[in-house]
Structures are given as structure tokens and as C-alpha cells.
Chains A and B, each alone.
Chain A
Amino acid sequence: MDANKNDVLVIGGGTAACVAADAVLNAGKSVAMVFPNGGSSEISAGTLDIMGVVPGEHPVICDDYREGVEKLLEKYPGHTYSKCKGELETGVEALLSLAEAGEYILKGFDGKNVWVPNMLGTFSVNAYVPSTMYEGAVVPGEKERVLVVGVKGNVAFNAQAAAMSYQQYQKKLGGKADYFSTEIQIKGWGDRRKISDGELADYLDTKEGKKELVSLIQTFCMNNRYSFDKILFPPVLGYLTYNELLAELKEACGCKVAEVAALGNSVAGYRFTRAVYRGLEKKGAKLLRGVSAKKLEAAENGVKVECVIGLTDQYHPGKRETFEVPAVVLATGGFVGGGIKARHTDVWIELLEQHLGKVTTDQLDRDAVHPAGQDFMRMGVQVKADMSVEDKKYNGRVFACGDVLAGHNSASERSGAGIAAASAYLAGKNAAAKI
């Protein structure tokens, strides 16, 4: 387990890290990724948001994500996209092709954003959704009969409440569907009152699980007086063999079938992340999992990165190793479990030993989910036009991308995957040029 002296070292394991690694490979150079556990993509919904909403007192919803980026930049000229929007299409393409190589197909809508029903009973805006969710997208003006299926004991998704909510909420989007709901009882895991998404997905990966679900739905449809145009399931149709199950359900029901969009920390996020990793490994990237970068230091014509190999605890100190590489891409993620640390009002980036300042009251809105977004979320690492960090001590050989960057509020803008893809592709390309 090693990174050699000709590798670009990518620190991180989420969407940005994977795209940065791909950009290095596409430049014909070698790359190693180090990360201790799953990245942001693992706790994502497994969909790609590029630019959904221009935040503000009166947020503007973007139908077309390219136009959305332009509108955003008019309002926030210093936004992260101002540096990397030129690589947006390439970065997104790279991400799609990595996911596809790992058998996770993401489908787009010709540059348009679409609304897909989600587990909350509302609709989420996305530019690309996995094939399992594609047919669930709202088609404005289309009259259709939609059945929402819940599973008894799976408390994360209440089909009846979701169907009622979709029925109301769709009006804002021009939807004209009629939503119905049912709750099925799967008995294959025994006499249990409640079951988690993970366990349900695990069961539906088995032959018995698939057979039971297909049979239950088929029976329900046959006994129902009216047919349905579309059937929506919770996003738990297996970790591994979801495409197979989806195809079986379509054949059995004779209509469109889709999963509703997951929220964070989802089965879909796991599928997406693992598929992208598989895609990267097929292309020759070295994925050094269970490795944490602890310290960065400038070296002659490169950067020294001190790492600990292996999970650590009081019994396991891990193996310390220092890699000396020509360039580093920092893709550690932001505030949530990422590279930006905060305590009380102080905010800093540990790896860069950089204090970002204090969160002040004017950066906070009392409404936690205010449509303008919380301003402190724009804190992060400052980079130059080539995405190298501004701190001169690294001689322009440490690049940054994704959520760790300053100047964006991806949570409010629904732009996380787009910023990750665009900034990471540019960072990876420029890091590769240092070899």
C-alpha cells in the first residue's frame, strides 16, 4: 500500500475526490487517493444537483442549470463557479462515466432540472438522477395514476402521508397526477416491528426478497380495479442488484416503476459511491482506503504528506508513513464530517493549519433554513484561478476542490455535485500538470 513519487495524491473519498482523480488519469498521469472512510457521496442521495436555486430573500428556481449558473454569478460574482464553470460539463461527464463503469447509471434531462418525488413527501430538484429514479420525475401537465408503495415496519417512508403530500405539492410544479398509496407487508425477515432501510435493501438483494416483493406487488395490481401508470417505491430496492429487481418489477407490473429520491445517508448514496470507486479502480487509480492524511508540508518540487494507514483506536495506532508527491489535491469536504472544523465561533482547516476566522452574528440567520442560506457556509479555503491554494508556503502544489472551497453555499443552491465536479476536474488537471 503506497503512493509513489509520480502520483498526484488526492486526499478525500467523496465526489470531488473521485472527479479530481479521474482528471489526473485523463491527463495520462498516475493518481492515488487516501481516505479514512466514505466521503460525502456516501451520505448523499445518489443524485447530482448542479445548480437548482439562486438563494435570496426570494429564491429563484432554475429550470436550466447552465442558465442557473449564469444567474448565480450575476448575483455572486466571486462564487466558486466563477473559477471553474469552464470545466463543469467535462467534470460532470467524468462523474457520469465513472459511475457507469461501476454499473450505476445516471440519467439527465438535456440540461434541465427536474423534480423527483422524495421520501419526505415533497419533490427534490436534480440535474441527474439514477436510472432507478428516472421514471419518477414529475411531468408537468401529464395526467397519470401513481401508486406509492410503502413497506410495513419501514418507518423511514410513510407511503400514505407521502402520497397525500405529493398530491398537494405537485400543483406548484404543474403536476396533474393522482396519487394512491398502499402498504405491503414483507415477512421474509421474520416477526419484526420495524426495519431499517439498510436491512430492507439487504433483504431485497436476496432471491427470496425479490420474489416476495414482486409477488406482493403483482398480486396487488391484479386485484386492483384500476391500473397504474407508475409505481413508486422507497429507495431501498437493494444495495447490489437493484437494476435486476427494478426490471422484474416493471415486467410484473406492466408500468413505469421508480424509487423515490432518498434523503442523505441513503442506500442510493452507498450504491453511487461504490460504483464510482469501481469505475476509478478499473481506470487504474490507487484507492488507499483506511488511510488518513495528518499533515501537509512543502518539499522541494513537491509536497510531503504524513499519513496513518489503517483504522486507529487505543489498540491500533496505525502505521505512519510519509508520501512525497509532486502535487496534492485537497478534497476533504466541508463542514459536515469534512476538512473544515469549527468550535464555538472559530473555524479552521486542520490540514492546511489555516484559521478561517470567526462566525459572526451577521453571518447567521435565525431561520436555520432561510431561503438566502446561512452566510458562514461560504467559509472555506481560498484558491487561485488554477484551484491551487493561496497560501504561498505550498508553492502552488496543493490544490483544493469541492465543499472545502470558500465562496459557495451548495446546500442552499442545490449545487454540491456540480461544484464538486467542476472544481475537482480543474484541480486534478492542474495538479497533473505539475508532474
Chain B
Amino acid sequence: MATQEFSKLYYRTSNCLTSDIIADFAPVSRILGVDTSTGMGAVFTAMGTRFDMQYVAKEAFMATDGYESDTRSIDDTPVAEVMRYVRGEIIAGDKVPEKYKAFVDAVLKEESVYAQYKEYSVGDENAEMLFLISPAAPNAQKTAEQAASVCKKAGKSVYCTNKYKDCGYLLLALAQTEAANTYAAGIKEGLAKYDSVITDDSYVLDALLIQFPEMAEKIKFLDEFLAENKLSFSGTEKVMLHESGVIQRLYPARKVNYSEILPEAELLLPKRSGYDVTDSGIAGGLGLAEPENLLAIAGRRMADLSGMDQDVIVTPCACEAAGLNCAEKENVMTLLEYICR
């Protein structure tokens, strides 16, 4: 992003983030409140002080689901990109607020931000497929067992691991491009030797597709892998689907038809779904920087998902499931858990 364009873009972005209608889709004002400070909004205040990064730091760390705002922005303001840029500038200017410092340090040190994360790998490293377990998965061993059973059904051998953590997603989200590129270079060899790379974490998928466009053909989200291998699973429950915002908005060409994967189930979608899908608030781990924000967004989404007499709520993304489960309203299963139950 050219710096000279930034002020203009930021002005439009702050407009999006604090406008009444988009506020529902961007969590900034959910916690801060619209127009908290001067009647012109916290972000506008920052503009008034000639854009001092310390004033916008909080917004930048709270605008986790900026791509939702992008879908509502009629003049194509890249809200997510601008807020990512701001996060980068805050870090570069050493203006990270105290409450986010531990989070940022963990990301910069390439540690996982998920408290339950423990490195886990299983299977033959020379297998045909690599399954990247989400670092947000509460039980990596269980996920690996489930992934192995699905891959076996497809007649493929698999090596399951979470050793690459989020594959540099959070470095990208904090606009640490150089560090993310270095991280990617370090894991490239480990990915290249496999025929296909599957993950059930949409943020891991995003990081992989950003860093390795040359491998895009063999990098798949779990549901795409199931659909391509024509794997279908029984079960006649009413399944409420929480789709992946990453797929719906950034990679819509990768969408799959769930009625082929779950042909006997009664599939339900909340009214806000598809392109409109609202996120869990976890944003690939960024949401953990501001738990109050995460809980508010997850709670809002769970209200959407809970109201239709469903038997079970399922999401293909393990990271989204972790976010939604923070709301502690109803247990959300990952697609992998559901098909292996």
C-alpha cells in the first residue's frame, strides 16, 4: 500500500468502521461504542491529531473481521488491508499498547498464541498427503486420528502435524511480511514433497495460498478434499452450518456443495450466510488479543446459529469452531468431528 494513499484510505476505512450500518459488521464500535470520544469517533479523533498511531492501535487490534466490512463497503474501501497496515505501523513505531504486547511478542517469536497448543505429529512423513492440524484444535491427537480415518477412506496415506502452527498467518495479519516470508521459506520444503496439503483451518489455508501460489492446486481445504474425492457421510440430523468467511469472501471459487458431502442431513443455514457469513471473531488467533471483543462477536454469531431448531452446529474450520465455542452457548463441532463421530 503506497503511503501517500494511506491517509485517504484510512479516512474511508474509519468511516466504514464507525458508520452505523457497518458497525454491526466490524467489532470496533461494539466494544468502544460509536462516537465514544468527541462525537466524531475514536478513529476520527486520531485523524484530528494528525494520525498518531497510538490513538488507533486499539481499533486496529479490534477490527479482526475487516473482510466483513469490505463486503459492505460500497466504494471498495479495503478495510481489512488498511487495518492490517495500521497494525504493522504500530509495531514498527513501537507503539503497541501494553495490553497487546504479550500477544504481539508471541507472534513475533513465532510461538503459538493458543494456550492449549502442543506440537504433535503422527504418521509416515513420506505419506502421499500432509494434513495440517489447526493450532486452535483443542486435541491435536484426536484431530489427527479423525483426519487419518477420512484419508484412509479416500485411499490415501497421510502425515498429520501441527508443527507449522498457523503457517505464518498471524505474522501476515500483523503485516510482518518479511518475517512471514522467512517463515514460509522455512516450511516450503516440508510442504512441497506431498501430493496434496489438506487443512481444516481456513486461516492456515489462507496463509498457505498467500505464500505458495505455485502450490495452489494441491493445497485444499478439508471440505474441498472431501468433495473432490466424492466422500459422503451418513447422518440425518438437522445440521446448522457455519461457513468459512475466508472461503466465502476470499476464495469463493473453492466453495463446495455440502449436500454432496452430507447427502442425508437436513442442512440449515442462518439468514446471514454465504457471502454474508459473519465470523466467530477469532480471526485466525488475532481475536485472542482482545477477549472481550472475541466474546461479543462469537456471542452474536451464536445467536444467529442457534435459533433454528438444529440438532448440531457444524463448521468446516477448526479455528472458527474454537472461536464460536468461546461463547459457551452450544457446542460447535468441526466438520471433521461430525463426519467421524
A interface residues (Cβ-Cβ under 8 A, vs B): 1, 36-38, 40, 42-43, 155-156, 192-199, 201-202, 205-206, 239-240, 265-267, 269-270, 274, 288-291, 309-311, 313-316, 319, 321, 336-337
Contacts and interface: CB of A to CB of B under 8 A. Distances in A.
A318 to B, nearest CB: 8
A156 B34 CA distance: 11
Contacts, number: 112
A171 to B, nearest CB: 30
Given A43-B74, A310-B250, A311-B70, A270 B36 contact: no
Interface in B62-111: 67, 70-76, 78, 80-81
B24 A202 contact: yes
Contacts of B272: 239-240
Majority-rule SS of A interface residues: loop
B94 to A, nearest CB: 24
B8 to A, nearest CB: 13
B238 interface: no
Nearest to A155: B35
Interface in B6-61: 19-25, 29-30, 33-36
Contact of B21 (A1, A194, A197): A197
A250 to B, nearest CB: 22
B275 A290 contact: yes
A326 B71 CA distance: 29
Interface of B: 1, 19-25, 29-30, 33-36, 67, 70-76, 78, 80-81, 172, 210, 248-253, 255, 271-272, 274-276, 300, 303-304
B22 A198 contact: yes
Contact of A198 (B1, B25, B33): B25
Contacts of B210: 315-316
A309 B252 contact: yes
A253 B109 CA distance: 60
A311 B253 contact: no
B250 A311 contact: yes
Given A155-B35, A206-B303, A310-B253, A198 B76 contact: no
B255 A1 contact: yes
A36 B74 CA distance: 9
Contact of B24 (A155, A194, A196): A196
| Interchain residue pairs A-B with the least CB separation, the first 4 | A198-B24, A337-B74, A289-B275, A313-B81
A195 B80 contact: no
Given A43-B74, A336-B74, A314 B1 contact: yes
A125 B94 CA distance: 54
Given A196-B29, A310-B249, 4 more contacts: A196-B19, A198-B23, A316-B210, A337-B74
Contacts of A40: 74
A36 B250 CA distance: 11
A348 to B, nearest CB: 16
A198 B252 contact: no
A310 B300 contact: no
A319 B73 CA distance: 21
Contacts of B72: 37-38, 42
A345 B250 CA distance: 35
Most-contacted residue by chain B among A198, A202, A289, A337 (CB, 10 A):
A198
Most-contacted residue by chain A among B19, B71, B271 (CB, 10 A):
B271
Contact of A265 (B21, B34, B81, B172): B21
A68 B46 CA distance: 48
11 contacts: A37-B74, A195-B33, A197-B20, A197-B23, A274-B271, A309-B252, A310-B252, A313-B78, A314-B1, A315-B81, A316-B250
A194 B74 contact: no
A43 B71 CA distance: 13
A44 to B, nearest CB: 11
B291 to A, nearest CB: 15
A321 B253 CA distance: 10
